Structure 1
Amino acid sequence: SLNLPGLLLSIPCMDAIHGLYSLGQHDLFHKKNSCKLIPENLLLCNDIEYAEMRLPNLLGHETMNEVLQQASSWTPLVQKQCHPDTKKFLCSLFAPVCLDDLDEPIQPCRSLCESVRHGCGPVMLAFGYPWPEMLDCNRFPPDNDLCIPPASIENVVPVTKEVPRVCDACKETEENDNEIVDSLCKNDFALKIKVKELSYINGDTKIVPDTKSKTIYMMNGVTERDLRKTALWLKDGLRCICEEMNNISSPYLVMGQKMDGHLVITSLKRWQKGQREFKRISRSIRKMQC
């Protein structure tokens, strides 16, 4: 799994995905192609319009394990919703459509690549990742060839058929002082942190706090030692959205519970200095008596 000092976007290690061209176009187009059912655990390409993909794919991955491992790192980019065709474009490379009567792979059109790069390139750059060379749009065929075009503007559909749910820990709540104390008392820890790095493991979000920026408000059954060496976990973080984490350079107030040796976040709010709610939270924490 990949740790990014920065985050919501784990983009895979670039060497591993130079496959498209280390294989060489010629080899790729003449390797014996086999059709495979798109597996359910290939989350990046769930609910696309076709059921079978070709292996090797257009990135030179020859086994399904390799595809699954590399594709999982790109799911956060789709969830960023930086362009409605992100999923279509990535899946045309990771899980290209497989047609029995067609030997050559169908590539994404150059215009599909360019429109996704235009929408998502700046988002990736914001997390310190330039648009990778393996996705250089000049490598893809112009639109008058047989290739996968972008959706026309009229046909643009939302990225996902169903709106992804908001993570429980990130739901907005308006609480009075008593309710704040109440929810604090149900938790084992309350911290003000900055995020050092963030990654995804088995669908959960792993947050490593920057120890220098940490303020401890309360710990119940959680020791300093637990906090020093342990990451915080946002359960199911790949399958739900958390608007609060769109700018991870700001500090957060996180509360949570110790479960099976892990520190699991139950509430996460971006800390906004001087905002009434946070003054109230600080006040409530100071005079807290559970």
Structure 2
Amino acid sequence: MPKIMELCLLIIFVLSFLDGQSVEARRQQEVYQKCQPVTIPMCENLPYNMTTFPNFLKHQSQEEAGAEIAQFLPLVNVECSEDLRFFLCMMYAPPCIQNFVIPPCLNLCEQARYGCEVLMNRFGFSWPEQLSCDKFKEAGPGVLCIDRNRTDDNVSKRPAPVLTTIAPVPVDDVTYCFESSTIVYEDILSEFCKAHFVMKIRLESISSTVQETTYQANDRKREIYKRDGLKKRDLKAMLFHMRNTAAPECCNVMKPGEEFLVMGYKDNKRLVISSVFAWTRSRDFRQTIRKFVDLDC
């Protein structure tokens, strides 16, 4: 493999090529036989310079792929995700590696979507179905996919993207809730940096037992602003728990059918809420939410 690819791409192979290629790999080798220089402007100056067609989206040429990928240029320019351009080029102009095309890993897709999906939703657009992260597999034994190499910061003119350091689980055992009239906006930004997850939810129901109270949110009515260390499966159930002690105002703030900004952390397999802010349409609140995209914690 060329040295530049070794620096920039983490390639996980299902089976050793010495032991024989999988049926899928042999099929791909038959279909993707010819490498060609990358000419799509958005995909130039990446860690690879050769591609092959048809791509994962069934485009037959770079001209066809280039015309479609150009619609994402505004998102790439605002840098809502450092992985967006890399992921898009994996899909529209995949690197030609020994006449194979290897799909992106699930993590690469999720990191590209993270941040950009929120921005798209804000303007009435949704993440394209053809780029759904459900189509990709998580890196691991028996999986052939490509992810970012996040250990070398010298692979390009700008530093390679790195995963945000996951904050430690806090020792404070109290969940705090804030009504719209008691929100201090600087506190939102401070709590954002401490949390493993930050999202807007619509509360569906509250269930209590002798041991605990759980909060069920609508999985279709959510916006995710941060999810350090959380995988897609962690958010599937949209079931949240309070800390051991909840501040008295939480009983008044958390009501089914209403929207909230919730922050918290993952404790084993549980999503534990550390703070809740009543969702408001005030100008200051909306400006604070917009700061999440560029917030340097």
TM-score (norm 1): 0.41
Q: TM-score, normalised by structure 2?
A: 0.40
